[in-house]
């Protein structure tokens, strides 16, 4: 090869590298759309907005939240999958969209494969559920709830933020572990379910601490158990469901950021770095602690390994409980 050709190719390669580096340095150049596949005001919405507010400060661009609930959280997720892979549409994905739906939803109900069509950027939080009952229900403990359910089979209704949520599957696990018959009532989001719980149209709900805790504090509903294996620091007087009569019971909810497959690795890395940086700030730590959400962080690879384990765990819960879409 002539020296002129070598120099020309070298110059072209250098220009391409510098062009890519420049594009990354400028990202984001315009607002980013962040799709949340659940309703405004619910736990996923609350925790994601806290993170997004910090990312706005760090990245110097607006992040526009786009709530797209419904379809067992497949509607919003599909929008992320179909978006241009340029870093300007990102999504909130969680235990439902990345793990539970794989075993709960029939193949034909998902027009995408989360393992192949999404790139995991990073996990950013984990939280637990609180079992709450409507104030008109004459039970004040998990044991009393189990006794009441035994005496009134099929008469209690468990609200959830939607099919496939930990509120749904957590309720199914509770039923199989206690031998009770409780009717599942899915809503488009937890705020609607909580509203009916307060009004007494449904009798119980397993919901994320982040969204149900204000209503427990205000006395609008009665908290009787947490789904973690240790008591919640913000509700130290409420026992765990495991210690209150269902040994071994535990469920947790978690979430992270994803992008469409094909998104440049440099943008994935930048987003991951920005997320981890935000999670280390005192603002995010304090706001998450106040709503009993734990910042997680880590690499995309760590998130992928975690999702793999959770997929196996929830597939087992679906199989044992016989959970179905309602």
Average pLDDT of the chain, as a whole number: 91
Question: Which carries the bigger pLDDT value, residue 109 or residue 5?
Answer: 109
Question: Which carries the bigger pLDDT value, residue 202 or residue 23?
Answer: 202
Contacts of 80 (CB under 8 A, 6+ apart): 35, 89, 90, 91, 93, 118, 258, 259, 260
Res. 15 pLDDT band, cuts 50 70 90: very low
SS3 state of residue 14: helix
- List, for residues 38-69, the tens digit of each pLDDT value: 989 888 999 999 999 999 999 999 999 999 99
What's the token pair of residue 255?
């979430």
Res. 72 pLDDT band, cuts 50 70 90: confident
What's the token pair of residue 184?
């599942």
- Give the residue-averaged pLDDT of 87-106: 94
Sign of CA dihedral 289, 293, 299, 302: positive
The closest alpha carbon to 133, from 143, 123, 125, 124, belongs to 143
pLDDT above 80 (res 107): no
Contact in structure between 226 and 127 (CB atoms under 8 Å): no
Strands 32-36 and 89-94: parallel
**How far, in Å, CA of 132 to CA of 196, rounded?**
12
**How far, in Å, CA of 29 to CA of 266, rounded?**
15
Contact in structure between 318 and 169 (CB atoms under 8 Å): yes
Res. 148 pLDDT band, cuts 50 70 90: very high
Instruction: List, in order of start, the domains of the chain with CATH numbers.
Output: 29-126+253-321 (3.40.190.150), 128-226 (3.40.190.10)
| CA torsion angle 180 182 188 192 (round to 10) | -110
Contacts of 31 (CB under 8 A, 6+ apart): 61, 62, 63, 64, 88
The closest alpha carbon to 209, from 182, 228, 183, belongs to 228
The closest alpha carbon to 215, from 239, 240, 194, 238, belongs to 194
Q: What is the per-residue pLDDT for 20?
A: 47
Q: What is the per-residue pLDDT for 7?
A: 55
Q: What is the per-residue pLDDT for 255?
A: 97
What's the token pair of residue 103?
């075993």
- List, for residues 222-244, the tens digit of each pLDDT value: 999 999 999 998 899 999 999 99
Least confident of 99-108, 271-280, 296-305: 99-108
């Amino acid at each position: 090869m002539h020296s002129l050709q070598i120099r020309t190719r070298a110059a072209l390669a250098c220009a391409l590298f510098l062009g890519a580096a420049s594009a990354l340095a400028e990202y984001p150049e315009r607002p980013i759309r962040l799709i949340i596949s659940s309703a405004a005001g619910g736990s996923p919405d609350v925790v994601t907005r806290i993170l997004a507010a910090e990312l706005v400060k760090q990245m110097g661009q607006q992040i526009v939240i786009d709530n797209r609930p419904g379809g067992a959280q497949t509607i919003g997720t599909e929008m992320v999958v179909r978006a241009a892979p340029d870093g300007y549409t990102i999504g909130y994905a969680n235990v439902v969209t990345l793990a539970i739906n794989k075993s709960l939803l029939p193949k034909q109900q998902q027009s995408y494969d989360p393992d192949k069509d999404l790139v995991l950027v990073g996990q950013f939080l984990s939280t637990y559920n609180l079992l709450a009952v409507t104030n008109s229900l004459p039970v004040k403990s998990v044991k009393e709830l189990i006794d009441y359910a035994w005496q009134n089979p099929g008469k209690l209704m468990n609200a959830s933020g939607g099919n496939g949520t930990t509120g749904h599957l957590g309720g199914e696990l509770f039923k199989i572990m206690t031998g009770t018959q409780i009717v599942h009532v899915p809503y488009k989001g937890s705020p609607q379910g909580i509203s009916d719980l307060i009004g007494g149209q449904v009798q119980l709900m397993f919901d994320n601490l982040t969204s149900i805790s204000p209503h427990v504090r205000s006395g609008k509903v009665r908290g009787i158990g947490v789904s973690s294996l240790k008591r919640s620091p913000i509700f130290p007087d409420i026992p765990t469901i495991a210690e209150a009569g269902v040994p071994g019971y535990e469920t947790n909810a978690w979430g992270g950021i994803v992008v469409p497959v094909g998104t440049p690795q440099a943008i994935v890395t930048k987003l991951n770095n920005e997320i981890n940086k935000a999670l280390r700030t005192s603002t995010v730590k304090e706001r998450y602690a106040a709503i009993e959400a734990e910042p997680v962080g880590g690499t995309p690879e760590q998130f992928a390994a975690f999702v793999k384990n959770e997929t196996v765990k929830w597939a087992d819960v679906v199989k044992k409980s016989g959970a179905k879409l309602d």
